[in-house]
Amino acid sequence: MYRVISPLLLLFASVFILMLGNGLINILLPVRLSLESVDTDSIGLILSLYAVGLLLGGMYSGHLIQRAGHIRVFAFSAALGAISILVCSLYTDTWLWAAMRIVIGFSNACAYSVMDGWLSDSSTPKTRGRILATNQVVMMGAMFIGQFLMVLADPMTHLLFVLAGIILCFSVIPVSMNRNPGPVIETNESMPILKLYKRSPLGVISCFFCGILYSAIFNMLPIFAADNNITGLQLSWFMGSSILGAFLLQFPVGYLSDTFSRRTVMLYVIVVSAVAGLLIPIMLAADQFLVVLVLTGITAGICACLYPMSIAEAFDRLKQSEMVGAMGSLIMVFAVGSMIGPYSSSLVIKWMGSGMLFTFLAVIQGGLAFFIVYRMQVRESVPSDEQEDFVMQGAAMPIGVHLDPRTPD
């Protein structure tokens, strides 16, 4: 294992530092906006715009890498992300923060493209899975730790914004010392979304619903926490439990998804997630914070697992030569859902209270469950022994187009 990972240690170091900064930013922005008494729907709209930047970055990052190379684009991405968070520290203007949210989404998408291309070029068909798994451990571990940086200073001051900017800039140092200039990027045409939908309706729809669910829960949890007096170290644990659940639950859910009918497993885990989410406000009112952490990890973790399950469901209906193009379209579908999630859930919170966040999620999950049942009635599932493997993927970081071990060399 060490022989496989050792040539990539500097890149993984940069990835860890970059995601450490993003872990802090993802909790800092909604908390600061809430403390500034910004309307909940405005907060949701600002947070939704991250997906716009992510989509734009996914469309244009390949051209940037071809023009400037992997290391320069990574440095560009980190610097652009640092600029965006530092600008946010200067003025608390909703329009400015909305624009900066697009910028940081764009910069992260470019950084993810660099990681994907570099790691895939450094892997072989036998090592792809291990490298992808290591990358996910590094990224999710960094985001988990980043939540606890919130306790270092008062979010109403500039210090946490400056710290986030420093961390993002620092991420450039390890990768810039790499002797390897990086691979030549290969461009791939996406499969049209309509064509992909005809081949795998459930794969496309579940990916869209996953975008709504994932972006809603991970962006609006800090707002729910603020309304329920979850602050300081408790807030870090609350948010950290969601990230930890998003990582840990991929192992049992992935095993079940590969062993049994994927649609059936998807249906059951959605029900479990909805029930766990609905219990969170009840357990919080009963002052059972430890139980709340477990329930949050379960519901957020299952929402995160829907993304790789959606990809696997789509891949079950595709030829191997079609998978790379389909992955690009699925990322676009996920990004569109991510644009809707935070804003729509923020409207529900504004009109009905923060406790309705999990009711909103349960309703969306119910809609997806209904569609799964419908698809089970009109089309037979692929036998479990013929299903494509579940591959761990982070919905927050939709990379792995070339690194996915299911795609052709």
| pLDDT attached to residue 270 | 96
| pLDDT attached to residue 328 | 79
Residue 401 within any structural domain of the chain: no
Per DSSP, the three-state class of 408 is coil
Alpha-carbon span 393 to 78, nearest angstrom? 22
Share of the chain above pLDDT 90, in %: 56
Alpha-carbon span 8 to 218, nearest angstrom? 29
Evaluate if pTM is beyond 0.75.
yes
| pLDDT attached to residue 26 | 92
Per DSSP, the three-state class of 10 is helix
Nearest to 390 by CA among 249, 192, 194: 249
| pLDDT surpassing 60 at residue 3 | yes
Per DSSP, the three-state class of 348 is helix
| pLDDT attached to residue 175 | 87
Residue 141 within any structural domain of the chain: yes
Alpha-carbon span 151 to 334, nearest angstrom? 32
Q: What is the CATH number of the domain that holds 160?
A: 1.20.1250.20
Residue 393 within any structural domain of the chain: no
Q: Which domain holds residue 318?
A: 2-176+190-386
92 contacts: CB under 8 Å, gap ≥ 6: 32, 33, 36, 38
Q: How many CB atoms lie within 10 A of CB 142?
A: 23
Alpha-carbon span 55 to 349, nearest angstrom? 26
| pLDDT attached to residue 408 | 60
| pLDDT attached to residue 396 | 57
- pLDDT tens-place string over residues 393-408: 665 555 555 556 656 6
Residue 392 within any structural domain of the chain: no
Contact 97, 120 (CB under 8 A): no
Alpha-carbon span 311 to 307, nearest angstrom? 6
Domain count, the chain: 1
- pLDDT tens-place string over residues 96-120: 999 999 999 999 988 988 887 777 7
Alpha-carbon span 271 to 62, nearest angstrom? 39
Q: Which two structure tokens, joined as six digits, stand for 124?
A: 């072989």
Q: Which has the higher per-residue pLDDT, 398 or 353?
A: 353
Q: Which two structure tokens, joined as six digits, stand for 81?
A: 């992300």
Alpha-carbon span 139 to 12, nearest angstrom? 9
- pLDDT tens-place string over residues 19-70: 999 999 999 999 999 999 899 999 999 999 999 998 898 888 888 888 888 8
Residue 404 within any structural domain of the chain: no
| pLDDT surpassing 90 at residue 277 | yes
| pLDDT attached to residue 135 | 80
| pLDDT attached to residue 388 | 64
Residue 184 within any structural domain of the chain: no
Rounded to the nearest 10°, the torsion over CA 343, 347, 349, 351 is: 170
- pLDDT tens-place string over residues 230-242: 989 999 999 999 9
Q: Indicate the DSSP class of residue 320.
A: G
**What is the overall mean pLDDT for the chain?**
87
Nearest to 47 by CA among 36, 58, 31: 31
Residue 285 within any structural domain of the chain: yes
Contact 115, 19 (CB under 8 A): no
Q: Indicate the DSSP class of residue 393.
A: -
Residue 183 within any structural domain of the chain: no
Rounded to the nearest 10°, the torsion over CA 38, 39, 42, 43 is: 60
Share of the chain above pLDDT 70, in %: 88
In the numeric block, the tokens 């809609």 are attached to 367
Per DSSP, the three-state class of 39 is coil
Helices 232-248 and 9-35 sit at what angle, rounded to 10 degrees?
A: 130
Contact 278, 362 (CB under 8 A): yes
| pLDDT attached to residue 233 | 93
